[in-house]
Amino acid sequence: KMLLGVVEPGAIAASAEAERNIANRRDQVQDALQRDLDAASFAADRAFRQYDAADPENRLVASELEARWNKALTRVGEIENKIASHKAEIPQVSSYSTLDIAALAGDLRAVWSAPATDARLKKRIVRTVIHEVIADLDDVASEIVLVIHWAGGVHTELRLPKRRRGQRNATPDDLIEAVRKLVLIANDDLIAGILNRNGLTTGNGNRWTRERVTALRSYRKIPVYRPQSDGIEPWLNLGKAAKLLGVTPKTLRIASEAGEIEGLHPLPAGPWIFSRSKLELPAAKQLVDRARQNPRYPAGSPKNQGNLFTSTT
């Protein structure tokens, strides 16, 4: 986004104006150096005339005048070197006009976003437009300061939060807490799918797999999900909890969202989790009675009706 912002027409106009200002300053330096060279050349010519007019037999005077002449010539050489260095620092003027570059910038966003544009082409574009990147640390703000020098003279400052010690591979605490709740009803394979469905990644930015969930549990000492041998699970998902009460999943979910029935919902795109013991409290029985009496809270399907879909939600 920063790259595209720099090459947008508005940014190009600002860059062109900045380049003109820099060129004017360069011209002023060039003029000053040229004036110094003219003065040094005049002094060298005068020193030569004085040396040439001196009596060769007066070696003391001739030696002094020769030293002055050599010093003046050295001064001329120093200024000429400065002028050459200054000219070498001036970048070559592009053959493209500002309008041409602006037209290309309008197409760059489409090229950058095109499905056929691969990472190699994007890297070439970045290497072309970025001259150098200077990094520094702001310990007060705990930030990394990046100064990007774009080709053409535009500078952009970018600040990034500095990673704390030990933070590189750290898994967020809220994700760990979600896993602690999900193991109540789901195995590691299902948990990996739920985490991926919510767009969550590992500390290294990888997708979750069963093996990675297992490693996280082992490291955090989170127990593994084990189905009860008698089939009476202490924790139920939304569908099983609703079937146990004899109401529809929608009725139970609405009641849980309203705080009438206690339930866990660790992730937005994840299952609801209910404690079997909580479903035996008076609040759950009141929900069942209300569902049977009020058509707005319909009761669930008959207990002997099969379900075509299996889900943890």
List, for residues 53-82, the tens digit of each pLDDT value: 888 778 888 888 888 889 989 999 999 998
Q: Provide the pLDDT confidence category of residue 15 given band limits of 50, 70 and 90.
A: low
Would the pLDDT of 216 be above 90?
yes
DSSP state, residue 140: T
CATH class of 233-313: mainly alpha
* Per-residue confidence (pLDDT) for residue 309, from 0 to 100: 40
Give domain limits for the chain: 1-129, 167-226, 233-313
Q: Which amino acid is at 211?
A: E
List the beta bridge partners of residue 144: 137, 160
Interatomic CA distance for residues 142 and 139, integer angstroms = 5
pTM of the model: 0.46
Query: Is 91 within 8 Å of 18 (Cβ atoms)?
Result: no
Spatial CA neighbour of 265 closest among 154, 188, 255: 255
| Helix (H/G/I), strand (E/B), else coil: 177 | helix
* 44-48, 87-91, 98-102, 158-162: least confidently modelled range: 98-102
